[in-house]
Amino acid sequence: MNTTIKIQGMSCNHCVMAVTKALSKIEGISDVKVDLAKGEASFERAESVILDKVKKQIEEEGYSVG
């Protein structure tokens, strides 16, 4: 299922790469696209992927969701 989430705290391309890498590490997530200007990430996720896990992974990189 296609999912889009807001991410706060990104300010440069390094941030985009960090969030992309963090999301790509989660099993069941693919086709990650992070948009710095919009402050959001979109991706395909399996139904088994819980959004709390996604949020935790992003927060571990130093960004916040919402």
Determine the structural domain holding residue 30 and report its residue range: 2-65
List the pLDDT tens digit at each of the 66 positions of the chain. Answer: 999 999 999 999 999 999 999 999 999 999 999 999 999 999 999 999 999 999 999 999 999 998
Q: Provide the pLDDT for residue 57.
A: 95
What pTM was computed for the model?
A: 0.92
CA distance linking residue 10 with residue 21, whole number of Å: 14
Strand partners, 45: 29
- What CATH number should be reported for the domain holding residue 49? 3.30.70.100
Asked whether 30 and 43 are in contact (CB, 8 A), the reply is: yes
Instruction: Tokens for 57, please give them.
Output: 């992974």
The number of folded domains in the chain is 1
Whole-number pLDDT of residue 15 = 97
- Side by side, the strands of the sheet bearing 40-45 are 29-35, 40-45, 2-8, 64-65
Q: How many other C-beta atoms are found inside a 10 Å radius of the C-beta of residue 7?
A: 24
